[in-house]
Structure 1
Amino acid sequence: MKYDQIAKEILEALGGKDNISAAAHCATRLRLVLNDESKINQEALDKMDDVKGTFSTGGQFQIILGSGTVNKVYQELTKLTGLQEMSTKDVKDAGAKKLNPIQRLVKLLSDIFVPIIPAIVAGGLLMGINNVLTAKDLFIEGRSLIDAYPEIADLAALINTFANAAFVFLPILIGFSATQRFGGNPYLGATLGMLMVHPDLLNGWGYGSALANGEIPVWSIFGFEIEKVGYQGTVLPVLAASFILAKTEQFLRKYIPSALDNLLTPLLTIFITGILTFTAVGPITRSAGNLLTDGLVWLYDTTGLIGGALFGLVYAPIVITGMHHSFIAVETQLLAEFAKTGGSFIFPVAAMSNVAQGAATLAVFMIINDKKIKGIASAAGISALLGITEPSMFGVNLKLRYPFIGAITGAAVSAAFITIFKVKAVALGAAGLPGIISIRPDSIAPYVIGMVISFIVAFVTTIILAKRAAKKEQAAEKAS
């Protein structure tokens, strides 16, 4: 394979070396920051056999080449452009400068929550295992597994403890990640998180009942009363507090002499931020977070299948913009408040959308004659069914348009169906066929049926639309 020729053709299609300001690559894709994306010759890129797909997101234009090829082409591209080799983080930062305020906010949330997803996923899946062991009527009528086999009761209790850890101490994880993202010392962020869930405080989950009974403990300092309430399972309070901590630390480091910096800066940073957290920031953002969560749950519970259908319809378009990353913060809150919310309704809808994208792509594979698109569709369709939709959406469905319409139709119908049965997840995971292990036990059956509906509707709709598109093309050819 002539990698230098591939790189040259790509460079020409991108508008020349002067149009590329930053370049890197991951396992399968070139990640480029372009000065002007309007100069891209998309038709030329689409005709290249080695280009498996392209898409623009987060200020980056990405070209899918595949593993084993992308690194060789990247080397040739750097020779042609004279650019120094860069990391994906460097390109990500360069691309972020081109984003609008909303896109920057989404990227900020993504940068904070993506690193802690493994911990949340692990805790959620363990919660799912505990639910399987303790749910009545799942395997035995009127009984749970621990009712039938008492010897595994302690195993279920142990798993439940492991599962709750990430959510009970969620502010520590978020405090570390958020403070690091805001430019502060992440270990001070973790310390702030520990302070917010300290065992001397009233447990955050008992705040509602304590407020109703007038039993909230307080610190009484010089006549001022500060509520001694923890922030277990919260998101907004620790995000706001971490921002204040990072900015306070940065401010203090500018004015405190270097000889005293290591002594006074951490002390004052934690003390000042802690006071602000418990007097103002925490109570205000706790209320805001509760309103947001309650509002979403109310919307889901009251709008029924219409709301579910609308969410399913727009989910894939939201993914195109990258704004779906902001859902991570909402889902984390929903899962952390499981006793109140019953889990996340966003994850099942995302799974319906992903399965629909995969079904539409596989429908294209079945009916299209173009060998290049057929080759991409086979792998991309399976990938989407497993929860990774970028190759499917950007490599096939959006390019042909009618499969994307078929996919969002399937997502809307299936999302409406699962909304009727209040399907919810107890964990984050692969939003697709493997997502069944993340679903609440009493929701597994409708979840599976929903995936079947999603696949069939998207597949059939795509074939119908493909035939209609073919007839239009034939009529246009005859007319010309």
Structure 2
Amino acid sequence: MSKNYRKTAEEIVRYIGGKENVVQAAHCVTRLRIVLKNEGKVDVENLRTVDLVKGAFSNAGVFQVVIGPGDVERVYKELIQLTGVEVSTVADVKETGSKKLNPLQQLVKVFSDVFMPILPAIIVAGLLMGVNNLLGAKGLFIKDATLLEAYPNLKGLWELINMMANTSFVFLPALVGWSATKRFGGSEILGIVLGLLLVHPDLMNAWGYGQAAAGIDGAKLQYFDIFGLQIEKVGYQGQILPILAAAYVLSNIEIWLRKRVPNAIQLLIVPITSIVITGALALGIIGPVTRYIGTLITEGLIYVFDLAPVVGALLFGALYAPLVITGMHHMFIAVDLQLIAQKGGTFIWPMIALSNIAQGSAALAMFWVAKKQNEKNMASTSAVSAYFGITEPAMFGVNLLHKFPFYAAITGSAIAAVIITLNGVLAPGIGVGGLPAFISIIPQYIPMFLVGMVVAVAVPIILTVILSKRFLKKS
């Protein structure tokens, strides 16, 4: 059956208050993001009945209409033609809507703006790291041996994949530097240079720093001696907070200089001054301070989960999906990366993956129990999407619409989170947050993660079917 994108766009425009009510519009992977003059004019009930629309809600000053991957681009193109507004980016729309945000929402928005553009690189690294770990896992495929030991000719492939997997993490500050300076209004190329500076080969890496700090094997810290001021020669591989703070400083210095340095000599003065000042501050003050803050955050999070793992896992498993609705889930990318950098693995991302699976499972159950054909169609496609890490269609188009599948999903997610937390499941990177997630789990924890996956599939399906007999409206 062909899809009439023009008709869908016309109906969306009608139910959001007409083209006169549209200020700005953009789209992400799954949603139309629209800034409206008056959100009170939106007819949400009728909007949700429009073909291809899987849900609608307002968040952080932006009205969002969930369409789904692929279709959203075509609907957006028609909507732009109908309303006459200019093509905008998600960042443009967020900037317009951010005038209505409180300080916490603004902080979340910064994390979202910085990490979303580099997320594909992080996911690829996580998946490749998972494949690499599987090749080197002892006893997983062959008793008392690894695939590398059984098939030595795989060593070259393992080394190549290992290099590819590590690249995004080794040079993570460069990726964040690019994205952060773009977000803060600075020059992206200077952000890349600053990020590479923080991981320069002449600087001691985290492993060497740990040995030097502990005095292992006579290792000692090296310093830059600048007129009697000593700055540690320490790098920040895999670190997030140092480059985030440094990129903010760099951007503000650059913006300040641009306004005051004559155009004729800007190219000569602005870049070198910005990099020299920020580089010195990053290595001498910003890096050490933010590394300490990052350590406190990481240790605090680990302490809470060690102190009350069941409570922590229950809360996270149950609350992650609601946080997706608010957009606050983007902050956990930084937490995951901080845990990976300091502890070699994250216990947060595996719970996120199970939450996504649980939402997909509840939507799949709705495919079986729904009375209307259009609801069945939406449930089936949304379930597949959620099983591969994109949960918005399932959440907004199916589970939240009926409510009880959403409650079933967060219940299954919470139980599964407790199981894997009590068994210490860790991931060395961030992969696809759905059924393929087991690839990105440290091999020794894969069996228990698979148990968690079974729970995240079974519990939401069973609860949704049971609750549907009481709450699902008769057609």
Asked if 1:315 corresponds to 2:320, the answer is yes
Q: After the TM superposition, which residues 391-430 of structure 1 pair with which residues of structure 2 at under 5 Å, given as runs?
A: 391-430=393-432
Q: Secondary structure at the match of 2:365?
A: helix
Q: Secondary structure at the match of 1:219?
A: strand
- Displacement of 1:136 after TM fit? 1.9
For structure 1, which segment, 258-267 or 82-91, has the greater mean C-alpha deviation from structure 2 after superposition? Answer: 82-91
User: In structure 1, what residue type is equivalent to 2:62?
Assistant: Q
Q: After the TM superposition, which residues 221-260 of structure 1 pair with which residues of structure 2 at under 5 Å, given as runs?
A: 221-260=226-265
CA separation of 1:187 and 1:438: change in aligned 2, threshold 3 A: same
Picking from 341, 364, 367, the partner of 2:366 is 364
Q: Secondary structure at the match of 1:97?
A: helix
For each residue in 1:387-444, what CA deviation from the matched residue of structure 2 results, as whole angstroms up to 9, or x when unmatched?
A: 1110110011111111111110010111111112211222222211111211111121
For each residue in 1:111-169, what CA deviation from the matched residue of structure 2 results, as whole angstroms up to 9, or x when unmatched?
A: 21222223323333332233222222222333323333444445434433333232222
Asked if 1:168 corresponds to 2:170, the answer is yes
For structure 1, which segment, 179-188 or 20-29, has the greater mean C-alpha deviation from structure 2 after superposition? Answer: 20-29
Q: Give the Cα–Cα distance (whole angstroms) in 2 for the partners of residues 176 and 88 of structure 1.
A: 17
Q: Give the Cα–Cα distance (whole angstroms) in 2 for the partners of residues 66 and 348 of structure 1.
A: 24
Picking from 434, 438, 441, the partner of 1:439 is 441
CA separation of 1:296 and 1:68: change in aligned 2, threshold 3 A: closer
Q: Which residue of 2 aligns with 1:36?
A: 38
Q: Which residue of 2 aligns with 1:191?
A: 193
- Displacement of 1:314 after TM fit? 0.6
Q: Give the Cα–Cα distance (whole angstroms) in 1 for the partners of residues 425 and 364 of structure 2.
A: 26
For structure 1, which segment, 196-205 or 267-276, has the greater mean C-alpha deviation from structure 2 after superposition? Answer: 196-205
- Displacement of 1:220 after TM fit? 2.3
CA separation of 1:100 and 1:139: change in aligned 2, threshold 3 A: same
CA separation of 1:298 and 1:7: change in aligned 2, threshold 3 A: same
- Displacement of 1:48 after TM fit? 3.7
Q: Give the Cα–Cα distance (whole angstroms) in 2 for the partners of residues 201 and 311 of structure 1.
A: 37
CA separation of 1:182 and 1:26: change in aligned 2, threshold 3 A: closer
State how many pairs are aligned: 469
Q: Secondary structure at the match of 1:63?
A: strand
User: In structure 2, what residue type is equivalent to 1:315?
Assistant: Y
Q: Give the Cα–Cα distance (whole angstroms) in 2 for the partners of residues 84 and 154 of structure 1.
A: 50
Picking from 285, 288, 293, the partner of 2:293 is 288
How well do the aligned residues superpose, as a CA RMSD in angstroms? 2.7
Asked if 1:328 corresponds to 2:330, the answer is no
Q: After the TM superposition, which residues 151-162 of structure 1 pair with which residues of structure 2 at under 5 Å, given as runs?
A: 151-162=153-164
Q: Give the Cα–Cα distance (whole angstroms) in 2 for the partners of residues 76 and 181 of structure 1.
A: 28
Picking from 465, 469, 474, the partner of 1:467 is 469
Q: Give the Cα–Cα distance (whole angstroms) in 1 for the partners of residues 243 and 26 of structure 2.
A: 34
Structure 1: gaps spanning 5 or more residues: 475-480
User: In structure 2, what residue type is equivalent to 1:250?
Assistant: I
- Displacement of 1:210 after TM fit? 1.0
Asked if 1:273 corresponds to 2:278, the answer is yes
- Displacement of 1:88 after TM fit? 4.7
For each residue in 1:327-383, what CA deviation from the matched residue of structure 2 results, as whole angstroms up to 9, or x when unmatched?
A: 11111222333xxx2412122111111111111112222112133322211211221
CA separation of 1:227 and 1:147: change in aligned 2, threshold 3 A: same
Picking from 146, 149, 153, the partner of 2:148 is 146
TM-score w.r.t. structure 1 length? Answer: 0.89
User: In structure 2, what residue type is equivalent to 1:131?
Assistant: N
Percent identical pairs in the alignment equals 51
- Displacement of 1:206 after TM fit? 1.9
Conserved? CA contact 1:184–1:246, under 8 Å: yes
CA separation of 1:135 and 1:46: change in aligned 2, threshold 3 A: closer
TM-score w.r.t. structure 2 length? Answer: 0.90
Conserved? CA contact 2:125–2:430, under 8 Å: no
Q: Secondary structure at the match of 1:55?
A: strand
User: In structure 1, what residue type is equivalent to 2:379?
Assistant: A
User: In structure 2, what residue type is equivalent to 1:225?
Assistant: Q
Q: After the TM superposition, which residues 66-85 of structure 1 pair with which residues of structure 2 at under 5 Å, given as runs?
A: 81-85=83-87
- Displacement of 1:196 after TM fit? 1.4
User: In structure 2, what residue type is equivalent to 1:148?
Assistant: A
Q: Secondary structure at the match of 2:202?
A: coil
Conserved? CA contact 2:399–2:405, under 8 Å: yes
Picking from 128, 132, 135, the partner of 1:133 is 135
- Displacement of 1:193 after TM fit? 1.7
Q: Secondary structure at the match of 2:116?
A: helix
Q: Give the Cα–Cα distance (whole angstroms) in 2 for the partners of residues 162 and 66 of structure 1.
A: 30
For structure 1, which segment, 131-140 or 92-101, has the greater mean C-alpha deviation from structure 2 after superposition? Answer: 92-101
Asked if 1:119 corresponds to 2:121, the answer is yes
CA separation of 1:142 and 1:103: change in aligned 2, threshold 3 A: same
CA separation of 1:459 and 1:219: change in aligned 2, threshold 3 A: same
Picking from 17, 21, 24, the partner of 1:22 is 24
CA separation of 1:253 and 1:24: change in aligned 2, threshold 3 A: closer
For structure 1, which segment, 181-190 or 146-155, has the greater mean C-alpha deviation from structure 2 after superposition? Answer: 146-155
Q: After the TM superposition, which residues 343-358 of structure 1 pair with which residues of structure 2 at under 5 Å, given as runs?
A: 343-358=345-360
Q: Give the Cα–Cα distance (whole angstroms) in 2 for the partners of residues 431 and 177 of structure 1.
A: 22
User: In structure 2, what residue type is equivalent to 1:46?
Assistant: R
Q: Secondary structure at the match of 2:64?
A: strand
For the pair shown, which has the larger CA radius of gyration, 1 or 2? 1
Conserved? CA contact 1:356–1:455, under 8 Å: yes
Conserved? CA contact 1:414–1:453, under 8 Å: yes
Q: Which residue of 1 aligns with 2:223?
A: 218
Q: Give the Cα–Cα distance (whole angstroms) in 1 for the partners of residues 70 and 426 of structure 2.
A: 40
Asked if 1:207 corresponds to 2:209, the answer is yes
- Displacement of 1:255 after TM fit? 2.0
Q: Which residue of 2 aligns with 1:453?
A: 455
For structure 1, which segment, 227-236 or 127-136, has the greater mean C-alpha deviation from structure 2 after superposition? Answer: 127-136
Q: Give the Cα–Cα distance (whole angstroms) in 1 for the partners of residues 4 and 173 of structure 2.
A: 51
